[in-house]
Structure formats: structure tokens, C-alpha cells
Amino acid sequence: MAEKSRPSTLSVYLYVPNIIGYVRILMNCYAFAICFKDKYLFSLLYFVSFVCDALDGWFARKLNQVSTFGAVLDMVTDRISTACLLVVLSQVYRPGLTFLSLLALDIASHWLQMYSTFLEGKSSHKDVKDSSSWLFKLYYRNRKFMGYCCVSCEVLYIILFLLANNQTENLIEVLLNVSTRNWLYNTLLPLSLGGWAIKQLINIIQMKTAADACILYDIAKKQ
């Protein structure tokens, strides 16, 4: 029987979900290049790129083109995109440390989770069946719940960017005065705040869980 052919390196790079990932990167590069010139076009491009994050996963499963490279590309693109938006917000609002702290939490949480995944020999960072936190397991097992939390974060950050009129905004004042804006902001802001808060809590749980896994790995090696 002939040996089943394996995909070449080039063919993996050209997987449809990975091509979508490259398009997302280009879209975000252009979006951030014009973010202060055209805030609405930036917001549209950024959100379309975010939606494509779900699209590439669908194609990966549908076309049987799941790859480790694709998973890493997807996560790196997500983290860099969110990080860049948080950096922009830190320059627009005061105190800027608020957004830089959120950036640090996001990166540390996901980096530790990926690293602990490889240490434990798991195939996916979403494999959290051994976690003691029901919220953490719900987040990674329920796509709708995860989607709500992730969309809420991105929508909240986009709204805050659109609400800023200059580069010295006071975050608390803007949030308190949002009622004077149009009905769309008044509707989306409370909805997104809930999902955003849950996402930050999950980031903290994820960071602690992943850190524990790293420590347990060291302890096991010494026994």
C-alpha cells in the first residue's frame, strides 16, 4: 500500500485559514496606520479582522486544514491586534496605565497558558478539562460564551476609541457622560462591560492556572 502523502511546508503556509490570517495582518496594519485620520474606517477594518478570527477556524475545521502553525498565527495575531489597540487607548486616555495593565494581563495570561500547554503535552491550549475552575472550563468549552466575552472586549475598546475627542481624555468622565451620546453607545457599552469584566477574570484564572502547571512540572521533575 502506498504511503499516505504528507503536506509540504509550502502547502501548510497556503492553507485557506492561514491565508485569512495573513489578510487579517495586512488589514490591521492599514487600520492602525490610519487610526487617527479616519476613526470609523479604522473601527470597521479592525472589527472585520476580528470577525475573520472566527472565520479562519471554521475553514480550518471544514477543509481539514487544522495546523499548529495556524493556531499560533491566530493567537499571535489576536494578541498583537488587541495589544496595539490598548496602546492606542493608553495614549488617548488618562490614566494610560489602566490600558497598559490590561495589555500586560492579556499577554502574560495567554503566553503562560500556551507554555504550560506544551509542558503538559496537550495538543491545544483550550484543553482545560483538568481545571478546578468551572468558569474557566465554561469559557473554553462553550463557543457562544467565549464569543460573547471576546466580542465584548473588542467592542468596548472600539467604543472607547470612538468616544475620545482628543488625546487627553479622562476615562471616568467619558464613561459617566456616555448617556449624552446616541442610543447605540448607550446600548452597547453596558452589554460589552459585562463580557469584558468576565474576560479579565478569566485571564487572571488562566494566568494562575498556567503558573501552577509550570510549578507542578518542576516539582515532578525533581521527584
- Tally DSSP H helices, then E strands, for the chain: 9, 2
- Contact 31/42 with Cβ under 8 angstroms? yes
Active-site choice (53, 56, 74, 78)? 78
Q: How far apart are CA 151 and CA 168, in angstroms?
A: 26
**What domains are defined for the chain?**
11-222 (1.20.120)
The pLDDT score that the predictor gives to residue 5 is: 65
The pLDDT score that the predictor gives to residue 4 is: 55
- Contact 28/46 with Cβ under 8 angstroms? yes
Residues linked to residue 93 through DSSP beta bridges, in sequence order = 169
Instruction: Please give the backbone phi and psi of residue 18, each rounded to the nearest 5 degrees, phi first.
Output: -70, -35
Per-residue pLDDT of the chain (223 residues; tens, 9 = 90+): 445 567 788 899 999 999 999 999 999 999 999 999 999 999 999 999 999 988 988 899 999 999 989 988 998 999 999 999 999 999 999 889 999 999 999 999 999 998 999 898 887 888 898 888 999 999 999 999 999 999 999 999 999 999 988 777 888 888 888 877 778 888 899 999 999 999 999 999 999 999 999 999 999 888 7
Task: Give residue 138's Cα distance to chain centre.
Answer: 17
Residues linked to residue 170 through DSSP beta bridges, in sequence order = 94
Q: How far apart are CA 210 and CA 116, in angstroms?
A: 6
Q: How far apart are CA 34 and CA 44, in angstroms?
A: 12
Known catalytic residue at 127: no
Task: Give residue 195's Cα distance to chain centre.
Answer: 13
